[in-house]
Amino acid sequence: SGEKDASADVSSNGYQKMEIKLSHVAAEDTPKGQSAIKFKEIVESKSDHTITVKVYPSGQLYGDNDEIEALQANNVQIIAPSAAKIGGFNKSFEIFDLPFMFKDHKALYSFEDGEGGKKLLSKVDSAGMIGLDFWPNGFKHVTNNKREIKAPEDLKGLKVRTHGGEIINDVYKTLGAGSAKIAFNETYQALQLGTVDGQENSLINFESQKYTEVQKYMTLSSHARSEYVLLANKSWWNKLNDKTKDLLNEAIKESTKTGRELEDKYEKEAMEKIKQSGKVNIHELTDDERNEFIKKLQPVTDKWSKEMDSDILQKAKESNQ
């Protein structure tokens, strides 16, 4: 029954009359939330409201664990899950979790906008989905309550809450730490009471989830990237006419740009708030310290690189130069 909406009639302005449901799990005032709103604004205004976009933020409609199936069933047309989650279809998506894979934003964006990114997005094709673009969230940093982390040994014996994933688990295992999966809504208290010692997150998430209140040490490690993949239902997308597709593509491009600008802005604001709280000791890894980590984690990189598309990996490495 999900067939009939996409082939719907065409308006006199050439756009297909339809309603697009876009569901995601982040709050509205995050880069992803604002990207989604930007997408809605462009599509609706340029199509003269022939196309309406309903955005469902904060996991109101579907959460991390059911949005993909809802997309495959065309109950929603667009979602933006984390890349790590898409690793369940193709390991190459976990490239963002490979330790220290991307040096900085410039490297990341040049990968995403180039051949490597395009090839990576095409990897979801067989699963009834179309990869549209990457939406940013931020580099991940590690925080904890026990000690300042400057060297790989400092992590030994720490229990770190992560969102899971085989590569992440391996990273912490190699560093002599344990990666624990604590439910999102119990993490605050788990950090407060020491059920786990630390966690890893982007600056924006760290601040919005109020972990400033319950964490003492932050290391700006940028050891991995928290990234979202914008996905559409494949059969729905394929039934769009060229004019509609062009409009959506244009809106996606614009909203990605918005997301990238806002990531920068929100990260600075989050950093400011974290500093202002005066509760978190912040350490930025020096190049030497960073190299120590890279060396220590080389086996993890080697092991999981084998499971990824070598061409994509090559492109990612080139982007750092």
Partner 1 sequence: MNKWNKRYSLFEDIFSGVFLIGGLALIFYEVIMRYIFNSPTTWITEISAVMVTWGILLGMSVALRDKHHISVDILYTLLPQFLQRKIDYFANIIGVIFCLFFTWGGIELIKNAFESGQTSMDTGIPLGFYYFVIPISGILFMVRFIGNIYEVWSSRKETGVERKLNLEEDQNEYSSAF
Partner 2 sequence: MNIAALFSSFTFLILFRIPIAIALVGASIIMFWLTGTFTTWTIPHKMFTALNSTTLVAIPGFVLAGAIMAKGGISKYLIDALRAWVGHLSGGLSVVTILACTFFAAISGSSPATAAAVGSIMIPAMVDAGYNKRYAMGLVAASGTLGILIPPSIPLIVYGVVTEQSIGKLFIAGVIPGMFLTLMLIIYAVIYAKKKGYGRLEKATWAKRRSSLSKASWGAFLPILILGCIYSGATTPSEAAIIACVYSLIVSLFIYKETSLNNWHQILKDSIGVSSMIMLIIAAASVFSLYMTQEQIPQTIANAMLSSDFLGKTTFFIATAILFLILGMFLESSSIMLITLPLLLPIMLSVGINPYHFAIVMIINMEIAQITPPVGLNLFVISGIAKENLSEVFKGSAVFILLMVVCLIIMMVFPSLSLWLPNKMSF
Residues near partner 2 (CB under 8 A): 1-2, 4-5, 21, 27-28, 54, 56-63, 65-66, 69-70, 73-75, 181-183, 185-186, 188-190, 192-195, 208-210, 213-214, 277, 279
Judged by beta carbon, residue 192 or residue 291, the one nearer partner 2 is 192
Residue 11: other Cβ atoms inside 10 A: 16
Does 59 interact with partner 1 (rule: CB under 8 A)?
Answer: no
Cα separation, 93 vs 167, in Å, equals 11
Task: Say what the alpha-carbon torsion angle 190, 196, 201, 206 is, to the nearest 10 degrees.
Answer: 40
Rg (CA), the chain: 20
Phi then psi dihedrals of residue 256, to 5 deg: -65, -40
DSSP 42-70: HHHHHTTTSEEEEEE-TTSS--TTTHHHH
Judged by beta carbon, residue 166 or residue 292, the one nearer partner 1 is 166
List the one residue from 26, 61, 76, 84 that touches partner 1 (CB under 8 A): 84
Judged by beta carbon, residue 197 or residue 207, the one nearer partner 1 is 197
List the one residue from 6, 149, 180, 204 that touches partner 1 (CB under 8 A): 180
The binder of 127, among partner 2, partner 1, none, by C-beta within 5 to 8 A per type, is: partner 1
Does 63 interact with partner 1 (rule: CB under 8 A)?
Answer: no
Least separation in angstroms between residue 8's CB and partner 2 is 10
Task: Say what the alpha-carbon torsion angle 161, 167, 154, 277 is, to the nearest 10 degrees.
Answer: -40
**Crossing angle, helix 298-305 and helix 166-174, to 10 degrees?**
150
Judged by beta carbon, residue 152 or residue 165, the one nearer partner 1 is 165
Encoded tokens for 183: 């439910």
The binder of 165, among partner 1, partner 2, none, by C-beta within 5 to 8 A per type, is: partner 1
List the one residue from 34, 35, 110, 179 that touches partner 1 (CB under 8 A): 179
The binder of 85, among partner 2, partner 1, none, by C-beta within 5 to 8 A per type, is: partner 1
Query: What does DSSP say about strands 18-23 and 78-79: parallel, antiparallel, or unpaired?
Result: parallel
